[in-house]
Amino acid sequence: MNSAAEAETRPWAEQVAADDDRYRTQLAYLFDRSAFYREKLRAAGFASIRAVGGLADIAQLPLTEKREIRATCTPDNPIGAHLCATPSEIVRIYSTSGTTGTPSYIPLTAGDLDNWVTASARSYQASGIATGQRIVTTYNAGPFVAGAALAAFDRIGLCHVPVGTGNTERLMLAIELLAPEAAVLTPSYAAYLVEWAAERNTDLRSSSVQRVLVAGEPGGGEPAFRTMLEEGWGARVTEAMGIGDIGPALWGECEAQDGMHLGARGFVHVELIDPETGTALEVVDGATGELVLTHLQHRAAPLLRFRTRDHVEVRTTSCPCGRTGPRVRCIGRTDDMLIVRGVNVFPSAVREVVSAFAPRVSGHILVRPKAPGVKQEPPLPVSVELAPDAAADAALAEAIRERLRELLVVQARVDLVPAGSLGRSEYKSKLVEH
Ligand SMILES: [Zn+2]
């Protein structure tokens, strides 16, 4: 097990106390510089910094939604009213893809960028990769914040081999000729490569890659899916997670593989809420809810109680690696969640249940809601792809249906479909047909 840095092993209570000081300073900065938060907090009845209190009182403050920020963008201020820094302080501007076509801009000061790299380096280093090793990456970072995470590999002291997305031959050649110890991919692409290799009788297991670091979408922490990836690659699979507006690799899993540690400790405060009511939930072992994050020492465009739309499960038990603080595993995106007769269902959780039926299934699923919107009437149609040599079999469909009912309390209609008939992705998978 690789050793965690001192900053990551300090008792969590000490971290929270230090974070409380940072939070108060950050709030004073927001009152001073952020037109967006001055107005938002005043409208919520917090006219001054004194009324706001410290971290213990944070749950009384309003949440921040991405669309509120977007609504403040104007031709004169395309970043939004939450912009706090002057143009001369800003050294980089990333963008997020945005579903409406117009990107959201994410500005950073030099200090913000350095903090992002520090946090990302911790998150990735938790995986066990070490100075002097080679790492091949497959992100087309382009305008996206993932670019800042790539700088973390220099910080760790790795030899970074960027190959980008969508050129599998180039990637496999780089692995064969340059012998990297680690590869960074989305879980979907890692799974695609297992199939790609099997179809070409290429032995991925005998490659130099000992660690596969997955990020960019949920899935790397689903036990059955992870097992499939680990067997296919003959490598240890750990995941990392961030959110564009807050930071690129905020969380990273260690070799114990029991949830992601907060690499961004000291930079970000973590809360959990009920996604439907917005009520704060206690961050205790086993709790599930939507992650809400607050910048603690950000300068360019800090966010307060930002809704990430990531639905997570929390672990607070001690970890053998020595890192302290809560860990999370992402169950899915709040946006992908369906409610079937009052029960919350995440497509990634459906995939996890189905994947346990390997080797009879390929692990690919597609949830096909009958009605638009979140609320669905049972049974929920789920297409489950068979493994290449498996035949459709009513007993298998029934067994999957029964397991989904048992574990997720959802009535499903399971349709077995031939191997290769559901879409594959070299980037991120769609688990729901919209
Ligand atoms: Zn650990």
pLDDT, tens digit, for every residue of 293-331? Answer: 999 999 999 999 999 999 999 999 999 999 999 999 998
Strands 361-367 and 211-214: unpaired
Q: Residue 318 contacts by C-beta under 8 Å, 6 or more apart in sequence?
A: 324
**DSSP string covering 105-173:** EEEEEHHHHHHHHHHHHHHHHTTT--TT-EEEE----TTSTHHHHHHHHHHHT-EEEE--SS-HHHHHH
Interval 123-174: pLDDT, tens: 999 999 999 999 999 987 888 888 888 899 999 999 999 998 878 999 999 9
Interval 226-258: pLDDT, tens: 999 999 999 999 999 999 899 999 999 999 999
Report how far ligand 1's centroid is from the alpha carbon of 209 (Å). 21
What is the torsional sign of CA 186, 297, 59, 10? positive
Report how far ligand 1's centroid is from the alpha carbon of 31 (Å). 37
pLDDT: is 426 or 373 the higher one? 373
* Mean local confidence (pLDDT), 284-291: 96
Report how far ligand 1's centroid is from the alpha carbon of 80 (Å). 37
Report how far ligand 1's centroid is from the alpha carbon of 297 (Å). 25
Report how far ligand 1's centroid is from the alpha carbon of 118 (Å). 18
Interval 53-109: pLDDT, tens: 999 999 999 999 999 999 999 999 999 999 999 999 999 999 987 655 678 999 999
Evaluate whether 49 touches 57 at the Cβ level (below 8 Å): no
The confidence band for 209, taking pLDDT boundaries of 50, 70 and 90, is very high
**pLDDT higher than threshold 80 for residue 426:** no
Report how far ligand 1's centroid is from the alpha carbon of 188 (Å). 24
**pLDDT higher than threshold 50 for residue 7:** yes
**pLDDT higher than threshold 70 for residue 18:** yes
Instruction: Say how many residues make up the chain.
Output: 434
List 231's β-bridge partners, or say none. none
The mean pLDDT value of the chain amounts to 92
Report how far ligand 1's centroid is from the alpha carbon of 381 (Å). 38
The confidence band for 349, taking pLDDT boundaries of 50, 70 and 90, is confident
Evaluate whether 61 touches 52 at the Cβ level (below 8 Å): yes
pLDDT value, residue 1: 44
Report how far ligand 1's centroid is from the alpha carbon of 116 (Å). 20
pLDDT value, residue 336: 83
**pLDDT higher than threshold 70 for residue 196:** yes
The backbone region for 379, taken as left when phi is positive above 0, alpha when psi lies in -120 to 50, beta otherwise, is beta
pLDDT value, residue 430: 83
**DSSP string covering 217-231:** STTTT-HHHHHHHHH
Report how far ligand 1's centroid is from the alpha carbon of 146 (Å). 23
**pLDDT higher than threshold 80 for residue 434:** no
pLDDT value, residue 218: 83
Evaluate whether 109 touches 137 at the Cβ level (below 8 Å): no
Report how far ligand 1's centroid is from the alpha carbon of 129 (Å). 14
Long-range pairs for 52-58 at CB < 8 Å and ≥24 separation?
52/27, 54/20, 54/23, 54/24, 55/16, 55/19, 55/20, 55/23, 55/269, 56/20, 58/23, 58/269, 58/271, 58/294, 58/305
pLDDT value, residue 100: 59
The confidence band for 3, taking pLDDT boundaries of 50, 70 and 90, is low
Report how far ligand 1's centroid is from the alpha carbon of 316 (Å). 11
State both tokens at 282: 């206690």
Report how far ligand 1's centroid is from the alpha carbon of 237 (Å). 14
Percent share of the chain, pLDDT over 90: 74
Report how far ligand 1's centroid is from the alpha carbon of 150 (Å). 22
Residue 342 burial (10 A CB sphere; 0-12, 13-18, 19+): exposed
Calpha distance 370→423 (Å, rounded): 19
Report how far ligand 1's centroid is from the alpha carbon of 376 (Å). 38
Q: Which of 337, 358, 299, 357 is nearest to 431 (CA)?
A: 337
The answer, yes or no, to whether the previous bond of 372 is cis (omega within 30 of 0) is: no
pLDDT: is 158 or 348 the higher one? 158
Q: Which of 349, 366, 314, 311 is nearest to 333 (CA)?
A: 311
Report how far ligand 1's centroid is from the alpha carbon of 81 (Å). 38
